């Protein structure tokens, strides 16, 4: 048990970052009765968790680095319109990350990473449904499956390696022809003539409202929400930590670092490093009267996720390197809009808004979740990349299980 501080209470567990990951960790810790302070420089949910595509995808056991992806990378790097783009000026900075990414595409690494992803995702949908019910918003998790669209069966066959990986991990899916995909989504344009349906998948229909509801429930249960930008984490002499902020110093018995793509600065403050890069992604959100889709639909040729949201029809995707400071290139968002209209002609002419966010990405696709051996009381919960929504509830449960007995 940690020593008491100023107000006589034991210092709380500090969770740094109120994105979906930090919110789930803080919520799970509080539900176990721990004193918890959730610290963010901003309002909760304004980072990557604000505008993701809402896909809860336990079947995403395919690492980002696959041998077939590597073949297309050089061409993509040269083309600003490609789904993956590294601006030439950023290439040298991104090179160490890209080198690790290439190394992660070795067949033995792909098998091992895929197995780890399957463990990470296990039970994700049930965990999100439980959490959404707990916070009084069960309607936020729509369990209607995901539909992957291909221009034809040959394009789907070219993706066989990724479907084989899913099959090996017991992920259920059905191949569809054009009639089959129209039976699920009648609004799909003639561009797409083949599909795959994953029935056991879900969609969060408002990722931002989900984070804010989780945090509201955390506060209603006695959790403390603190607004401060942290600049350093400092270990105490014997035990405990101090989170140094711009406004105050926050004592903590344990610290969970869940600052998404911004986690490196605080990690460096304790002399550690991680190969964390932001993969900048974009979305457009169409104002629609009637939703043209009833579930998450993936345009595989365009690498775009389309989802029915409470706030409209969202099309999200693209991977752009370039760091945390560079201004958004909303031309990339406009291309997402073009691809969405191409797939769903009913969207033509609908007004849309644009957004950019920072995915916290590790080159081996695997988030860093767990204790830091050389720093007792420091826990990592960042690097969830393209799957931070999917894995957030599981990350919260796992860390709460590990941390609770130590406080």
Ligand X SMILES: Cc1cc2nc3c(=O)[nH]c(=O)nc-3n(C[C@H](O)[C@H](O)[C@H](O)COP(=O)(O)OP(=O)(O)OC[C@H]3O[C@@H](n4cnc5c(N)ncnc54)[C@H](O)[C@@H]3O)c2cc1C
Interface contacts to ligand X, rule CB under 6 A: 16-22, 39-42, 46-49, 52-55, 229-230, 258-262, 266, 281-283, 305, 316, 357, 359-360, 382, 384-390
Mark out the alpha helices in 242-387 (DSSP H runs).
263-268, 330-343
Q: How far is the CB of 157 from ligand X (least distance, A)?
A: 25
Which residue, 44 or 193, has its beta carbon nearer to ligand X?
A: 44
Report the SS3 class of residue 306.
Answer: strand
- Closer CB to ligand X, residue 193 or residue 293? 293
Nearer Cβ to ligand X (193/305) = 305
Whether the Cβ atoms of residue 257 and residue 382 lie closer than 8 Å to each other: yes
Element (H, E) at 257: strand 254-257
Q: How far is CA 124 from the centre of its chain?
A: 13
**Nearest distance from C-beta of residue 245 to ligand X, angstroms:** 7
| Nearer Cβ to ligand X (292/360) | 360
Distance of alpha carbon 238 from alpha carbon 177, whole angstroms: 64
Nearest distance from C-beta of residue 367 to ligand X, angstroms: 8
Beta carbon nearer to ligand X, 4 or 330: 330
Return the structure tokens found at 112.
């091992």
Q: Find the shortest distance in angstroms from Cβ 58 to ligand X.
A: 10
Angstrom distance (rounded) from CA 406 to CA 38? 18
Q: Choose between 165 and 266: whose C-beta lies nearer to ligand X.
A: 266
Residue 60 or 253 having the CB closest to ligand X: 60
Q: Which residues contact 380 (CB under 8 A, 6 or more apart)?
A: 256, 257, 263, 267, 274, 368, 369, 370, 371, 372
Q: Is 362 exposed, middle or buried (0-12, 13-18, 19+ CB in 10 A)?
A: buried
Kindly state the smallest distance separating residue 108's Cβ from ligand X, in Å: 26
Provide the token pair at 201.
């998948």
**C-beta contacts of 327-334 below 8 A and 24+ residues apart:** 328/280, 328/282, 328/354, 328/356, 329/80, 330/282, 330/354, 330/356, 331/80, 332/85, 332/282, 333/282, 333/283, 333/284, 334/284
Tell the smallest beta-carbon distance from residue 210 to ligand X (Å): 10
> Nearer Cβ to ligand X, position 295 or 386?
386
Asked if 313 and 340 count as a contact pair (C-beta separation under 8 A), the reply is: yes
Q: Which residue is nearest to ligand X (CB)?
A: 388
Residue 333, classified by CB atoms within 10 Å of its CB into exposed (0-12), middle (13-18) or buried (19+), is buried
Nearer Cβ to ligand X (153/402): 402
Which DSSP symbol is given to 239? S
Residue 311 CB, shortest distance to ligand X, in Å, is 14
| Other Cβ atoms within 10 Å of 9 Cβ, number | 10
Take residue 20 and report the two structure tokens written for it: 């979906």
Cβ at position 91, least distance to ligand X in Å: 21
Give the residue with the Cβ less far from ligand X, 153 or 398. Answer: 398
Report, in Å, the least distance between residue 320 CB and ligand X.
Answer: 10
């Amino acid at each position: 048990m940690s020593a008491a501080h100023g107000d006589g209470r034991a210092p709380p567990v500090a969770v740094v970052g109120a994105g979906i990951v930090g919110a789930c960790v803080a919520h799970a810790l509080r539900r176990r009765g721990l004193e918890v302070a959730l610290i963010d420089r901003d309002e909760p949910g304004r980072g990557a968790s604000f505008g993701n595509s809402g896909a809860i995808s336990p079947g995403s056991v395919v690492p980002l680095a696959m041998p077939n992806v590597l073949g297309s990378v050089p061409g993509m790097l040269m083309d600003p319109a490609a789904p993956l783009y590294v601006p030439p000026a950023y290439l040298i900075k991104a090179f160490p990350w890209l080198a690790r990414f290439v190394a992660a595409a070795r067949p033995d690494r792909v098998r091992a990473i895929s197995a780890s992803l399957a463990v990470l995702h296990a039970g994700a949908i049930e965990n999100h449904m439980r959490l959404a019910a707990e916070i009084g918003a069960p309607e936020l998790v729509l369990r209607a499956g995901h539909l992957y669209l291909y221009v034809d069966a040959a394009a789907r066959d070219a993706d066989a390696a990724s479907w084989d990986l899913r099959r090996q991990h017991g992920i259920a899916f059905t191949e569809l022809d054009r009639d089959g995909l129209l039976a699920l989504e009648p609004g799909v344009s003639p561009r797409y003539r083949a599909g795959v349906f994953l029935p056991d998948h879900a969609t969060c229909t408002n990722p931002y409202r989900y984070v804010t509801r989780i945090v509201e429930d955390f506060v209603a249960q006695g959790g403390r929400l603190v607004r401060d930008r942290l600049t350093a984490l400092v270990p105490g002499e014997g035990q405990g930590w101090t989170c140094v902020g711009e406004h105050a110093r926050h004592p903590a018995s344990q610290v969970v670092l869940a600052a998404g793509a911004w986690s490196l600065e605080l990690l460096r403050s304790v002399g550690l490093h991680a190969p964390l890069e932001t993969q900048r992604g974009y979305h457009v959100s169409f104002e629609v009267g009637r939703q043209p889709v009833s579930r998450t639909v993936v345009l595989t040729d365009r690498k775009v996720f389309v989802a029915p949201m409470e706030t409209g029809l969202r099309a999200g995707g693209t991977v752009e390197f370039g760091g945390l400071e560079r201004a958004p290139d909303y031309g990339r968002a406009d291309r997402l809009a073009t691809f969405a209209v191409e797939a769903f002609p009913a969207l033509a002419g609908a007004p849309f808004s644009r957004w950019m966010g920072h995915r916290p990405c590790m080159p081996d696709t695997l988030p860093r979740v767990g204790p830091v051996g050389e720093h007792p009381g420091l826990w990592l919960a960042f690097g969830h990349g393209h799957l931070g929504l999917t894995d957030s509830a599981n990350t919260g449960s796992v860390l709460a299980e590990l941390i609770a007995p130590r406080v």
